[in-house]
């Protein structure tokens, strides 16, 4: 189990929740989009010690930012539908696993959208935590 498994579990779950959407990942831009597209950013905080010793656990917390870009002028109903989809997938207490590493969800929400490079962008935020063995 490793911190990379935390990221993989979260990214895989987000891509599955909004299936059919083309995503850019960290340091990997998407192909030139013509319709709705997304980008995923994994944002862990510094870990905290949960238990001491070489076989102890560290508590990792952070958020996964899922930016979804909609064609300008297309309204907000698609963004609301995507929020409902993400909230259904990332309910508080939900758990996702990769490589034997479990990640728990705290909550999921969105702020007001904004125009970025002629796209209407909504940044959905998924807060999470995981105990990772040393």
Whether domain 3-133 has CATH 3.40.50.10490: the reply is no
Q: What is the pLDDT of residue 61?
A: 97
65: exposed, middle or buried (C-beta count within 10 Å: 0-12, 13-18, 19+)?
A: middle
User: How do the domains of the chain map onto residue ranges?
Assistant: 3-133
Q: What is the pLDDT of residue 34?
A: 75
Average pLDDT, the chain: 92
Q: Count of CB atoms within 10 A of residue 132's CB? A: 19
pTM of the model: 0.90
Model confidence over 68-112: pLDDT tens digits? 999 988 888 988 999 899 999 999 999 999 999 999 999 999 888
Sign of torsion, CA 67 15 63 76? positive
Indicate whether 50 pLDDT > 80: yes
């Amino acid at each position: 189990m490793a911190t990379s498994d935390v990221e993989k579990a979260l990214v895989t779950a987000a891509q599955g929740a909004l299936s059919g959407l083309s995503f850019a990942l960290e340091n990997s831009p998407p192909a030139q989009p013509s319709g709705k597209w997304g980008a995923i950013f994994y944002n862990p905080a510094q870990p905290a010690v949960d238990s001491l010793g070489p076989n102890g656990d560290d508590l990792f917390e952070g958020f996964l930012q899922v930016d979804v870009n909609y064609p300008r002028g297309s309204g907000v109903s698609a963004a609301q539908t995507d929020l409902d989809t993400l909230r259904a997938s990332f309910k508080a207490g939900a758990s996702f696993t990769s490589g034997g590493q479990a990640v728990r969800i705290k909550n999921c929400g969105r702020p007001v959208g904004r125009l970025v490079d002629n796209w209407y962008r909504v940044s959905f935020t998924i807060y999470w935590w995981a105990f990772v063995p040393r």
